Chains A and B, each alone.
Chain A
């Protein structure tokens, strides 16, 4: 392939057109960075990855502003909530995005949790038992709440007829959305669980009823609206018995833009409480679902990205500083320093990475504060990375040492350290940049792996690997697929870094610059 490239280049030099003269002129005289950028721009995937990475870092920096709730805020009662259902139309009318608050119910037999949407009554209009019509709206005339009083009849159905077991009354502050039919006509729920039936059969309170209806086959529950109690701001309550409800409406919880809610510090020092979007409580907006404590996965992915994406950059910075320093010295001076260093790197390289990682973590006390844990993880990752880097730098310095410009610098009497730092190291720059972008995924993966195993970042701090650890529970994995989302982000970030690094490597290849 390269052969072909060269051939075409030679051909162009033989019969030059005006354009090609311009091109060869540019190759000769344009600054190097312009040429680099030009050849990098040819890699479409590399450009795309660059934008994706820029986007990732941007959303991670503004994580607080973009998050509707704090990453540590728990809603344990609705843990593992599915991503919120977002509605756009209300009663056939487009009113913009809104959601409803969630509540949980636990199946008495399987203990499987299920979620249902609830809401408050916002408006009721109807005719009372005294014959006069009424209209109540939340927020108007000091009305603070509209509570539905519901009568629940449990009726046994037997071989010879039906009989009432018991009647209870309940106040519904929050009405289950699926049960809205109750305002039109009584709602019949038929339940036929065997255990419940047996319970009723053996209950002495129902002997009389049971004798009337014969063998109990099933129990039905009939829910019907009895009264509406209206609560006022001054604490008074008015109870209205009603003949018919003509119209009613639920309160909706719109997704609001630029809301003020939980406090944070932008960039770590500007206090603020402005957020891009949010909803009023008790509604909780889960864009990507919730985790086991009911924390918002979307928010935690943003905050976890801070950890995961910064580990790579800081880790690479430390590794390169150590690698350049040690590799430079051992390559330039050689001798016993070189010998010791190379033996040491050999030993470190001989221990499988992850074993070394977790063993090093084991040295440290397990209960460190979260910032220290983060620093420790970065330091450990850099400790793993420097031997390989030092060896490569050493090799490059060894070969550069023989070059004329180094000889010249020596002849001019420059001190050795200056020659290393100002003459030799800058010549390894392209390699260093490419190697850096290609080895960042290793750091991100290392951190994710450590946290996944429970040796890295700890709760309540967040990192993509740590979040994935929740998906290790098979039951959770099966039922709450959204727990895998952090992995997707991890995957995209690593893919982008790989593609970006690949494009950089191609762009920095002297052949692609026309040299």
Chain B
């Protein structure tokens, strides 16, 4: 198992390097040198600009520039955001938390509801409730997340049942831990529901399909014929086999959430990475763009890695393939 994980880790290094080259190409291709903004800004001294020029090697050829940049990134110097007037590393670190928190909540929401619903729908196949949930799932898969978010915001602003944006209330600094958690949950309902709904629908449909496939297998028929209790047949044998393919989806849904959160974060004013990227791009704050591209790709790769490891854990065939 350890061998498998190490192998996967090593394989992801060239991908990360590739992503870094691509981000660097994007930055180099963007119009203008991003130090131009520093030069024009009177609040930044000439010495600072020269120091940055040296640090990032702008007097050298692109290849050396890339290596210098990579070296700086590995050292932890991710550049300086002129828009927020602080190092990019700190900025991303602050925002990453909010995005991860939102993604995790959404993940819990969609899986905790999607899996049981899928199982239920499969067991009651062709019943009214099954068909109803299929319809809702199809609607959920088709509704654009940002349109759904706007609908939710409209609902929230009309009824005042939910806050209309942000992650915590204004007076959150005076709250104790429990109040903070409740306040967070109250704020996260909107973004998590609108972001996670399509995921929920997908998981439900997958779970239903996989479970149904298993229920029609011969071994299930046999177990039933043998007189094994229904509960044991369904939940111990069929369910375990049905859940395997869903684990692959798990990793991809984690990475999908990171990407899709840009729109939801913008609509709900969630202080996460997505909004940071938008702000960085509108202000041409390119160090920030580059770093967030890298970090978001890293998250995606970690998500896929987690999916692979999980799959290897539950499915011995995959583990042995690498031995």
Contact = CB atoms under 8 A, between A and B. Distances in A.
Given A3-B216, A346-B15, A350-B19, A484 B262 contact: no
Contacts of A351: 19, 22, 293, 296-297, 300
**Interface footprint category on B:** 35 or more
Given A347-B19, A350-B19, A352-B300, A478 B157 contact: yes
B263 A347 contact: no
A495 B142 contact: yes
A379 B117 CA distance: 40
Interface in B128-142: 138-139, 141-142
Interface in B14-63: 14-16, 18-19, 22-23, 26, 29-31
Given A354-B259, A359-B26, A363-B26, A477 B153 contact: yes
B228 interface: no
A128 B138 CA distance: 70
A491 B153 contact: no
A343 interface: yes
A80 interface: no
Given A452-B146, A472-B267, A350 B300 contact: yes
A363 B29 contact: yes
B309 interface: no
Interface in A426-476: 441, 445, 448-449, 452-455, 468, 471-472, 474
Given A1-B216, A494-B142, A350 B147 contact: no
Contact of A484 (B154, B274, B297): B154
Given A359-B293, A453-B263, A472 B150 contact: yes
Interface string B247-275: 00000000100111011001100000010
Interface in A488-504: 488, 490-491, 494-495, 498-499
A267 to B, nearest CB: 30
A512 interface: no
Interface in A324-352: 343-344, 346-348, 350-352
Nearest to A45: B138
Contacts of A499: 138
A411 interface: no
B281 A487 contact: no
A363 B29 CA distance: 6
A474 B259 contact: no
Contacts of B301: 350
Contact of A491 (B26, B144, B259, B293): B144
B194 interface: no
B164 A474 contact: yes
A478 B16 CA distance: 44
Scoring B147, B153, B277, B281 by chain A CB atoms within 10 A of each residue's CB, the highest score goes to B147
A358 B262 contact: yes
B173 interface: no
A248 B299 CA distance: 73
A481 interface: yes
Contacts of A453: 262-263, 266, 278
Given A360-B26, A449-B262, A494-B144, 16 more contacts: A352-B299, A354-B262, A354-B274, A355-B262, A355-B293, A359-B23, A361-B281, A362-B281, A453-B262, A474-B153, A477-B153, A477-B154, A487-B147, A488-B147, A491-B147, A499-B138
24 contacts: A347-B18, A352-B255, A352-B259, A354-B263, A355-B259, A355-B262, A356-B293, A358-B262, A358-B278, A359-B293, A363-B26, A365-B31, A441-B142, A453-B263, A468-B150, A472-B150, A477-B154, A478-B157, A481-B154, A484-B150, A490-B147, A491-B142, A491-B144, A494-B143
Interface of B: 14-16, 18-19, 22-23, 26, 29-31, 138-139, 141-144, 146-147, 150-151, 153-154, 157-158, 164, 212, 216, 255, 258-260, 262-263, 266-267, 274, 277-278, 281-282, 284, 289, 292-293, 296-297, 299-301, 304
| A-B pairs with lowest CB-CB distance, top 9 | A352-B259, A347-B18, A487-B147, A495-B142, A354-B262, A494-B142, A363-B29, A351-B297, A352-B296
